[in-house]
Chain A
């Protein structure tokens, strides 16, 4: 049970799952950081593109690249509409109002998807022909490698975006102090809209990556939302590196706990971590100081 190969096998699987959690947590953390909302529809921004990718690939039989580009386009639209309907009219209201509004959006999206795509779980065709690649005795499905690589690329991209570009600086300024940003002439509403679109695209990428290895159902989003919550709490609510590390951490710990402690309670561990982190170190691994953000 404890030999190196098995451990490495688990580690890679955990990291792959954790990378998906990290993407969803990143989407969640971006919106939290930018406008202080807890987005309960974050899972649906993974589920919707996952479904569309299945339709594009297995029903319309599009090649992979155009399909993926279409998804990104759809998610730009999704993010913009989500911002305009669910958040924008409620900006400045207590966070609970926005939270309930995102719950409404989540219910709407979940059930509309059920109507449109049906109740059968679906899997999209695999991107790679080979089942797994052999790395010194560790069998790694190429999709897992793709997921982990994508996460790394996105992290680099995001670092570049936030630290090196004017747009990124404007996004950061808006997140830190909206009024000050407005005084400095930053078009705050547009920047928030862009943040929503970016968060939606991250969800879309998570959906694309998941679709070949995970059963796509209309209620899969909820569990991903919950894992994203746990990940961003573990990493520190509102911390961008925290969301990524938290996601990877939850993915790996969950897999090891499921393998060595109890598979039945697999989903419990993420939430035990959540509560333990809140009790012992509420600011998470990287988080902001815990005080009510107004």
Chain B
């Protein structure tokens, strides 16, 4: 609500953010970094999905990479086999992933906490093994090449620079939807489940229904991210969607700050760019430091960056939330110098 009330005052600010975001590919110039930025945006969408289930509802899902993969393979198969364009797969991939989310959610959501976490691990592994081994359908280890770029009238989003705008639009859509969800009756139901499931049930919240809905939304975001990913890289293969990506998504969310929209995006961008910046250290060094950093961050910043911002001052935190689209823009500038 504060977001809407604050809007008129902040119009110049939003304008400035919009200009920076629009000019970003020109500012960065390096094709490689714009590509990384696109990837960060795609990860942000998947992490936003995870935020619904983990951040808002307090349930752990270690299968987000599987939903991401389901979205990507849905897009890839429809595009290469049936010739569906980007916009058609855009409409189909998120619901398909959501359907899988419900399939997983219905039987397993009766389980609590750690059991659910284990069930999602199993689900993620099984999906990945199917993608990897069902050669006739998914192309097996060779994956699916030849996915086409999105086309809108005369525009073709085939370069990193042009795809950036499309991905950014999707991220803004995803983030705004999530702000809406968070402040709705549904969002409060999620929050109630997170805080105390029994109390929520007693106050008349249909906890089972809302847990399934949260799961479906989470996987729909994952599917959306997957669909974008498929059309960006024009090639999908199962190894991308392995469980370590699910784990990385969780780390992104926890470091950004579970429950926060801005935190999800900042976390996703940071954990996309940090390994790139550490690349000069060569492979294993970067990942070893990265692992150590995760432990240190969990110890010293238990609520993530968003929590840190909140503790600086609750006023700052209120301002940060609507700025959610600004954050990814700031990182590459640091990167480019």
Binding site for B on A (CB under 8 A): 32, 36, 38, 40, 85-86, 89-90, 93, 95-101, 103-112, 114-115, 222, 226, 229-230, 233, 237, 264-265, 267-268, 271-272, 274-275, 278-279, 282, 290-293
Q: Which residues of B contact A95 (CB under 8 A)?
A: 113-114
Contact A108:B288 (CB < 8 A) given known A96-B60, A103-B247: yes
Contact present for A108 and B292 (CB under 8 Å): yes
When A107-B287, A114-B284, A237-B118 are in contact, do A96 and B294 touch as well, CB less than 8 Å?
no
Binds A, one of B22-30, B119-127, B204-212, B225-233: B119-127
B111 touches A282 (CB 8 A): yes
CB contact between A229 and one of B54, B121, B287 (< 8 Å): that residue: B121
Residue in contact with B119 in the complex, picked from A97, A222, A278, CB distance below 8 Å? A278
User: A-facing mask of B42-64, CB < 8 A → 1, else 0?
Assistant: 00000000000010000010000
User: Contact partner of A112 among B60, B126, B288, CB < 8 A?
Assistant: B288
Q: Which chain A residue lies CB-closest to B242? A: A222
Q: Which of A104, A115, A264, A293 contacts B294 (CB 8 A)?
A: A104
Does B112 sit at the interface, judged by CB under 8 A? yes
Please state if B284 and A112 are interface contacts (CB–CB under 8 Å). yes
Interface contacts (Cβ under 8 Å), in number, total 133
Cα distance A93–B307 when bound, in Å? 14
Q: Is the CB of A226 within 8 A of B113?
A: no
Q: Known: A100-B298, A272-B126, A274-B118. Is A279-B290 also a contact (CB below 8 A)?
A: no
Q: Which residue of A lies closest to B297 (CB)?
A: A104
Bound-state CA distance A3–B83 (Å) is: 52
B9 touches A (CB below 8 Å): no
Q: How far is the CB of A58 from chain B (nearest CB, A)?
A: 22
Cα-based distance from A9 to B26 in the complex (angstroms): 66
C-alpha gap A264/B298 in the complex (Å): 38
Nearest B residue to A267 via CB reads B129
Instruction: With both chains docked as a complex, state the minimum distance between the C-beta of B41 and any C-beta of chain A, in angstroms.
Output: 23
In the complex, are the beta carbons of B287 and A111 less than 8 A apart?
A: yes
B contact set with A: CB distance below 8 Å: 54, 60, 107-108, 110-115, 117-119, 121-123, 125-126, 129-130, 133, 243-244, 247, 250-251, 254, 258, 283-285, 287-288, 290-295, 298-299, 302
The interface residues of chain A lying within 8 Å CB-to-CB of B285 are 111, 115
Q: Considering residues B119, B287, B291, B293, which has the most beta carbons from chain A within 10 angstroms of its beta carbon?
A: B291
A86–B111 touching, CB < 8 Å: no
SS class, residues of chain B in contact with chain A = helix
12 pairs from A and B in contact (CB 8 Å cutoff): A90-B299, A99-B250, A100-B250, A104-B294, A108-B295, A222-B244, A226-B125, A229-B118, A264-B133, A278-B108, A278-B111, A278-B118
Known: A112-B284, A115-B285, A267-B129. Contact between A97 and B302, CB under 8 A? yes
Evaluate whether A111 and B298 lie within 8 angstroms (CB atoms) in the complex, with A104-B293, A275-B123 already known: no
Q: Are B298 and A108 in contact (CB under 8 A)?
A: no
| Cβ–Cβ < 8 Å partners of B54 in chain A | 96
Q: How many angstroms between the C-alpha atoms of A157 and B59 in the bound complex?
A: 38
Complex interface: chain B residues within 8 A of A93 (CB): 302
Contact pick for B122, options A32, A101, A271, CB 8 Å: A271
Q: Is the Cβ of A237 less than 8 Å from the Cβ of B115?
A: yes
The docked-state distance in angstroms from the alpha carbon of A71 to that of B119 is: 34
- The smallest beta-carbon distance between A88 and chain B, in angstroms, is 9
What is the CA–CA distance of A271 and B128 in the complex, to the nearest angstrom? Answer: 12
Which residue on A lies nearest to B294, using beta carbons? A104
| Distance A105 CA – B115 CA, assembled complex (angstroms) | 22
A114 to B285, CA, bound (A): 9
Q: Distance (Å) between the CB of A43 and the closest chain B CB?
A: 12
Per the bound structure, the CA–CA distance linking A100 and B244 in Å amounts to 12
Instruction: Name the residue of chain B whose CB is nearest to the CB of A89.
Output: B299
